[in-house]
Amino acid sequence: MEASKQQEKQSDETEVRHQAITIAPVAPEREIPPQGALEAKKAPGEENEEKSESPNSPSEPGDDADAELTIMLTQIEAYFGREASSHDLEAISFSLRHLFSRVDFLYRQALPELEQWTTHASSEKNRETVLHQQVWLHLQTVNRTLDRMAPLCHLLSDVIECLLDTLDNEEVWLRTFEEEETLLLQQVQEPTRKLEVPPTSRLTKAVSEPAASDGEIWEHSVATLMDRLLIWQEQHHKLASFLQQFAQPTLATGSLNELDTAFAILLDSAGAIFGDILPNFRLVGPDDKEEISALLFDLMQQSDQMLVQFEVTLEPLTSLLRHFAAASESS
């Protein structure tokens, strides 16, 4: 009798343990669906592709170009120095750095992976439920990437307005020039203080007279970012249009065309920011406030253009998400 009770107790404990490790699937809260949840649902041949690509993939999007981007952002900060608020300089650097990262993720990973799953969904009817779920997940990834980019563009446009106000404030610039003269006088009187100035400060204060190697570093940085822009363009041109990926009678053709146009304009704006406007800051003198203002206006215009495109994508992406959520439930 006691042996049978002991066996029942052990079986109950075993059942509790089994129940304790059972986790119900939940909607992803990250941009990339958890790898563990996708392992059992890989499309045919995808494991081999991921194994061959994983050694070369960066830990975070844009990380491998972060140093080059930092050099360009330091150039912008050098034009303002103490004239602008340190918070404004941090904000413009933060927004541009993370905007680059999100654009890199969108065109190198999120959109290409979405196309892979839409291709499988149209060709493999025997796994419709799983494939519809995966398409929904990757649509969510694209949507959340855009959701992160929007506040970055808002911040970028706002901080540019603050920097433009700084350029218009003659009193601030005159006062800082006087402080600069005082600082130079102190450095002449106490030469040893030069050794205490951080390297980054020396770099920002010597924009008008860069070292001989600075030009080479700058050119390398520009070349690296231009190579990344070419990769974005190549990846985007390889993609099938949304109208081709979601060729279903139940989906509005017009809204899919709007998505294709919006992502093309977003890419153009990103190319203008990181391939044209930022490199041109190098060609402007530190005292040429009109040219600096023009570049900042161009930067704000491209940022506002991206914000418009985010609004354009909202309704079509929402419709696609609802469609595949309903398809997953009905399959």
For 44-59, the pLDDT digits (tens) are: 444 444 443 444 444 5
pLDDT band with cut points at 50, 70 and 90 for residue 253: confident
Q: Pick the closest to residue 220 from 58, 62, 56, 72 (CA basis).
A: 72
CA 36 to chain CA centroid, Å, is: 24
Taking residues 81-87, what's their average pLDDT?
79
Rg (CA), the chain: 27
Give the pLDDT score at 298. Answer: 96
Residue 18 lies in a domain: no
Q: Is the pLDDT of residue 305 over 90?
A: yes
Residue 55 lies in a domain: no
Give the pLDDT score at 6. Answer: 55
Residue 115 lies in a domain: yes
Domain that holds residue 267: 63-330
Q: Is the pLDDT of residue 42 over 80?
A: no
Q: Report the alpha-carbon distance of residue 121 to residue 293 in Å, rounded.
A: 49
Residue 70 lies in a domain: yes
Residue 37 lies in a domain: no
Model pTM score? 0.71
Q: Is the pLDDT of residue 277 over 80?
A: yes
168-203 tens-digit pLDDT: 875 554 444 444 444 444 554 555 444 444 554 444
Residue 291 lies in a domain: yes
117-131, 210-224, 293-307, range with the lowest pLDDT: 117-131
Residue 94 lies in a domain: yes
Instruction: Tell me which of 6 and 235 has the higher pLDDT.
Output: 235
The number of folded domains in the chain is: 1
Give the pLDDT score at 28. Answer: 40
Residue 38 lies in a domain: no
101-105, 219-223, 273-277, 323-327, range with the lowest pLDDT: 323-327
Residue 204 near residue 77 (C-beta atoms within 8 A): yes
